[in-house]
Amino acid sequence: MAHDNLKIIPLGGLGEFGMNCMALRWKDDILVIDAGLMFPESELLGVDIVVPDISYLVENRRMVRGIVLTHGHEDHIGGLPWILSELNVPVYGTEFTLAYVEGKLEEHKLLDDTELIEIAPGSKFTIGPFTVEPIRVTHSLVDCVALAIETPVGVVVHTGDFKVDLSPPDGKAFDLHKFAEYGKRGVLALLQDSTNVDRPGYTPSEWSVKPRLDEIFSRTKKKLFFSCFSSSIYRMGIALDLAHQHGRKVAIIGRSMVESSEIAQDLGYINISPGLIINPGQIGDHAPENVMVLISGTQGEPMSALSRAAVDNHKHARISPGDTVLLSSRVIPGNEKSIYRVIDHLCRRDAQVIFDDGASGLIHVSGHASQEEQRLMINLLRPKFFIPVHGDYRHLKKHAELAKSMGVVDAAILIEDGDVLEVNANEARKTGKVTAGRVCIDSGSSADVVADIVIRDRRHLSEDGIVLPILTINKLSGKVERLPELVTRGFVGADPAMLEEARKVVGLTLENSSAEEKADYGVIKEKIRIDLKRYIQKNTSRRPLIMPVILEI
């Protein structure tokens, strides 16, 4: 009977924010929802991005029928290049989402080999045994959808990221009616976004930022630098409209901001008045009170346009005393230091900095549903089983409790990455685990996977430094020419007396080794490493990385 259950298998995004990836499996067919990344915590030294471990999909590659994307944020599409390098499957997404995906795949030279299939709200399509209907939802990005997936055991609804905005700037409102229709027909399982489960009430509409932004435009006497997430197309549109109303020309600076604005303009999400946009090189040709600079770098990213402008290191973006810098975004947890560092630099230049400090009026609104909207969705769909997704464990737990307290679901089930939840018309139960976790990527020229041992070594180096015992061995006689040298870097406690003793320890190790051991460089290096490690740990309580080096002369 187990073969006739639908398996719901999260591979990322349940137990952390980011790298959202969910697999639905019916017999020998697997449908994947989203393929995101997350940005690393500071302890993942030197790692650029983190993607989900897709060992399960690779092991079952012949069953994977396609990847369906809910929207174009990095935590939902950023892992695609790494997944598609392992699995050559079609990718389904809305027009705007696929425009972002194309740029990403082109960068990784995967575009020509990938089949991209455009989907639209209300138009059903079939992937194996699954019939999928995208449903229009609103979020901080445009062209976002939830997915109603008809499976052989019932309908599963995956909300993606959403909030209920009935009057978004693009006029494409959240489709309450479609959700209500599915609720009347009956929903087996609802997988719902948990991000803002801590927030009571409703999340304000995107329009709610306009009054405060209008007021800031009115009282800004010199240049206005407007920074928001490059994917905040609604916010960008509002800023451009206000610039036009207040007689300001607009220069767009920062690669991600330029790319997003071009895509949004091409697809009709932003309408720019003729003559409004100027080249960044023309900023100095206009009076400061007639210029707005739309600039990327709202999270204080070290090489972003705003970070460079804040230290006078940008060719075109020059911040002068009296200019206003507006950060229309939230502080993403973990980015506080870099953001406040940029704000400090801006203040040193006598700029007025406005950021989301809880002052009167909104300059940023969330793209995620608060508690009342989450309740509204549960009431509309009245699912048999409720499964919270997208969030740390505490968010998932609180969301499950919220659903239970409403009394409209049969069961609220908490699952995490790697859990296998088997569902049929009568029951849902956890039946096992698959391999899940995170894969660390150094996205240099070759985008290499960083193994755990590498991160461990980096942490080791950062905490206790490195010690290099250098041995000089005569190639002909095989004898050690002189007492070993010790070179240290980043190692605290390396006073001359202690180093001299450490040299003697290495010399003693060599004396007590046979000619055969000395001839085998691998063996002698390991003996030196063990003896030196023991000596240093005993005398300094530190554990530097010890790497013996043998020079032949």
161 is in an annotated binding site: yes
451 pLDDT more than 60: no
Considering only residues 519 and 158, tell me which one the structure prediction assigns the higher pLDDT.
Answer: 158
User: Hey, what are 232's tokens?
Assistant: 């905040």
CA distance 156 to 148: 6
Dihedral of CA atoms 490, 496, 497, 502 in degrees, nearest 10, equals 50
75 is in an annotated binding site: yes
399 is in an annotated binding site: no
Q: Residue 128: which pLDDT band, with cuts at 50, 70 and 90?
A: very high
Average pLDDT, the chain: 90
460 is in an annotated binding site: no
Please state the rounded mean pLDDT for residues 300-317. Answer: 91
139 is in an annotated binding site: yes
pLDDT at 81: 92
pLDDT digits 0-9 by tens, 147-164: 999 999 999 999 999 999
Alpha helices for 407-495 (secondary structure H)? 452-464
Considering only residues 40 and 93, tell me which one the structure prediction assigns the higher pLDDT.
Answer: 93
Considering only residues 387 and 447, tell me which one the structure prediction assigns the higher pLDDT.
Answer: 387
What is the radius of gyration, based on Cα positions, of the chain? 29
Closest CA to 519 of 484, 480, 470, 469: 480
48 is in an annotated binding site: yes
pLDDT at 445: 41
Q: Three-state SS for 12? A: strand
Considering only residues 510 and 143, tell me which one the structure prediction assigns the higher pLDDT.
Answer: 143
pLDDT at 549: 86
286 is in an annotated binding site: no
Closest CA to 23 of 39, 40, 35, 41: 35
The answer to which of 87-101, 111-125, 392-406, 511-525 has the lowest mean pLDDT is 511-525
Please state the rounded mean pLDDT for residues 215-220. Answer: 94
Considering only residues 208 and 47, tell me which one the structure prediction assigns the higher pLDDT.
Answer: 208
Give Cβ neighbours of residue 145 (< 8 Å, ≥ 6 apart). Answer: 70, 71, 94, 119, 121, 134, 135, 136, 137, 160
Chain centroid to Cα 53, Å, comes to 15
312 is in an annotated binding site: no
Residues serving a catalytic function are: 193, 368
CA distance 76 to 21: 7
Q: Residue 446: which pLDDT band, with cuts at 50, 70 and 90?
A: very low
User: Hey, what are 58's tokens?
Assistant: 């690779």
Q: Residue 193: which pLDDT band, with cuts at 50, 70 and 90?
A: very high
The answer to which of 42-51, 62-71, 283-292, 381-390 has the lowest mean pLDDT is 42-51
pLDDT at 359: 53
For the sheet with 438-442, list strands across it. 49-52, 438-442, 448-450
pLDDT at 254: 94
214 is in an annotated binding site: no
Total-model pTM: 0.83
Domains of the chain: 2-201+366-448 (3.60.15.10), 206-354 (3.40.50.10710), 452-552 (3.10.20.580)
529 pLDDT more than 90: no
1 pLDDT more than 50: no
Q: What whole-number percentage of the chain has pLDDT above 70?
A: 92
Considering only residues 352 and 476, tell me which one the structure prediction assigns the higher pLDDT.
Answer: 352
CA distance 131 to 65: 12
Q: Answer positive or negative: Cα dihedral of 14, 132, 177, 164.
A: positive
pLDDT at 536: 85
pLDDT at 135: 98
321 pLDDT more than 70: yes
The answer to which of 38-42, 400-404, 517-521 has the lowest mean pLDDT is 38-42
112 is in an annotated binding site: no
Query: In this structure, which amino acid lies at residue 109?
Result: K
Considering only residues 472 and 443, tell me which one the structure prediction assigns the higher pLDDT.
Answer: 472
CA angle 545, 549, 550 (to 5 degrees): 160
pLDDT digits 0-9 by tens, 26-73: 999 999 999 999 877 655 555 677 889 999 999 999 999 999 999 999
Residue that the structure tokens 């989203």 belong to: 34
Please state the rounded mean pLDDT for residues 134-158. Answer: 97
pLDDT at 270: 93
Which of the 8 DSSP states describes residue 174?
-
